[in-house]
Amino acid sequence: MAGAADFSAGGYRFLPSVFQFSAGVAALSGYAIERVRFRSPVPLKQGFERVERLITEAGRPLTSFCACELRSPAPFTEQGFRAF
């Protein structure tokens, strides 16, 4: 990944982009990125509480959380996302 920044505290590298997201992530050597999907959407706070519990139970630091998909009723402007 040309231009990637390593984030060793999380075990991954990422391509910097705009504030609210990166342009991609990849696991560092010796690590794997595992996708977890909830059966149905949950409120934001509850979702992050679940994420924290799953990561902690897996014995990984919270810094290993490298991506998520959020659902919103409409696209955000960059300022709208910051307010969100």
Beta strands in the chain (DSSP E): 5-7, 12-14, 25-27
26 inside domain: yes
Rounded to an integer, the average pLDDT of 48-72 is: 93
**Domain coverage including residue 14:** 5-70
77 inside domain: no
80 inside domain: no
32 inside domain: yes
Residue 27 phi, psi (nearest 5): -70, 145
Q: Could you read off the pLDDT of 8-34 as tens digits, one per residue?
A: 999 999 998 877 778 899 999 999 999
As a whole number of angstroms, the longest Cα–Cα distance in the chain is: 38
Determine whether 12 is exposed, middle or buried from the number of CB atoms within 10 Å of its CB (0-12, 13-18, 19+): buried
Which H or E element spans position 46? helix 44-57
75 inside domain: no
Indicate the pLDDT class of residue 79, thresholds 50, 70 and 90.
Answer: confident
